[in-house]
Amino acid sequence: MSEEEIIKYTELADRRVIETFKQATVELPDAERLFSHVLNAQHIWAYRISGQKPKYGVWDIHPKEKFESLSLENFKQIKVALNNHPLDQRIIYSNSRGDQFENRVDEILFHLFNHSTYHRGQVATLFKKAGFIPPVTDYIMLKRDHLL
């Protein structure tokens, strides 16, 4: 699987979650907090790869009305970062506590996409508890539907 396909998958799965938030008729503060965290992490990692200071903190909370624009900006930034940095390039970065680490771009991407999937599952559970049918975001299901 190419990095383009995993980006496309993550973008599509996130878009489905965002659509569910748009249709929600009740407030879902825990789900909004978790999905804000997903968007923040994507933003932070894309900026780290590019050597830029992130605009958002790990647990900043965004209103659901901003999820779509934040996601579009994240994936634009992720694609720019990948166009400018080969997958085997080592990136030195600091975490939110200021501790310094070094990882390859492909390792960072694997973490970023795995992290997104993990928290989308938690958001889906919160949707279900609130009485909403969670969106289908399983990779293989989207692949079978020829969306990837």
Binding site, annotated residues for a divalent metal cation: 37, 115, 119
Looking up tokens 């939110």, which residue turns up?
A: 96
Residues annotated in a binding site = 37, 115, 119
